[in-house]
Amino acid sequence: DIEAKDGDITKAGDDEFSSSDTILFHMRVDEYAIFSIGTATWEGEGQLTIEHGITEGTNTITIEVADPMGNLADPYTYVVIYDITPPAITVTYPSDGSTTEDGEVVLSGVTDDVRSKVWINGRPVGIAADGTFEMTVALEMGSNVFELRNKDRAGNEATTDVTVVRKEKEDVQESNVGMMAIALVIGLVIGVAVMYVIGRRAAGPDVTWEDEPRERTPPPPPPEEPPTEGDGGWSEY
């Protein structure tokens, strides 16, 4: 019998995983025997427990058994994987806290362990050969929280959350109307300014008088009667 000290042995396919760094081999022999794993040896008869430490990764353990005369029995080989590193899971779309008015969204992500399993709010989702996955999820009005759980074959788990907010369509429309009104006002102001500039240019340059024109005094009219002798004559006219 084999067990993990202070842990569990999990079987996945042809592989066995240990959650502990120490394996216990429980053995029973009818005659006195010598057991060895590498350079470590144990001996005795009846019920024996052999304790062996393992390192992270795949461990191949071979137990050799011999009688006191040195005769060897067929060795026993045991392969166990010690894995305490949880998988890494990432949500690639949508971003946490994003807002939409749609009734559903395609939630996608990636894991670094293609042989692991992924659940979104408890629903299993398939993983592609490159570690990516996606699922179309429904959205209720308001805040929607999705929990993604990733579990590898050794039993290690990783979780992450993403929140998507669904808003009423009217909210979005009111926001658009407000923006359109602002854009219209800006357009009117610019149009009035352009028309003013064009009108000034069409009117030509302004004329400014330095001095007001002076009123001229007309010369006196000629006398109605011709001059007589002794008068100055017409010379002054």
Q: Residue 170 is encoded by which pair of tokens? A: 């009217």
Going by pLDDT thresholds of 50, 70 and 90, the confidence category of residue 232 is low
Q: At residue 81, does pLDDT exceed 90?
A: yes
pTM beyond cutoff 0.75: no
Residue 228 carries which DSSP code?
-
Residue 61's SS3 state is strand
Pairing of strands 2-4, 76-82: unpaired
Higher-confidence position of 12 and 235: 12
Q: From CA 156, how far away is CA 116, in angstroms rounded?
A: 10
Going by pLDDT thresholds of 50, 70 and 90, the confidence category of residue 48 is confident
Q: From CA 99, how far away is CA 23, in angstroms rounded?
A: 51
For residue 149, give every residue at least 6 positions away whose Cβ sits within 8 Å of its Cβ, in sequence order, or none: 118, 119, 157, 158, 159
**What CATH architecture applies to the domain 89-167?**
Sandwich (2.60)
Residue with tokens 């946490």, as numbered in its chain: 96
Q: Residue 115 is encoded by which pair of tokens? A: 């042989």
For domain 2-82, the CATH superfamily is Immunoglobulins (2.60.40.10)
Q: What are 157-184's pLDDT values in tens digits?
A: 999 999 999 999 865 455 555 667 677 7
Q: What percent of the chain has pLDDT over 90?
A: 48
Q: From CA 235, how far away is CA 224, in angstroms rounded?
A: 16
Q: From CA 207, how far away is CA 218, in angstroms rounded?
A: 28
| CA distance readout (Å), 228 to 30, 51, 225, 231 | 183, 165, 9, 6
Predicted confidence at residue 228, as pLDDT, reads 54
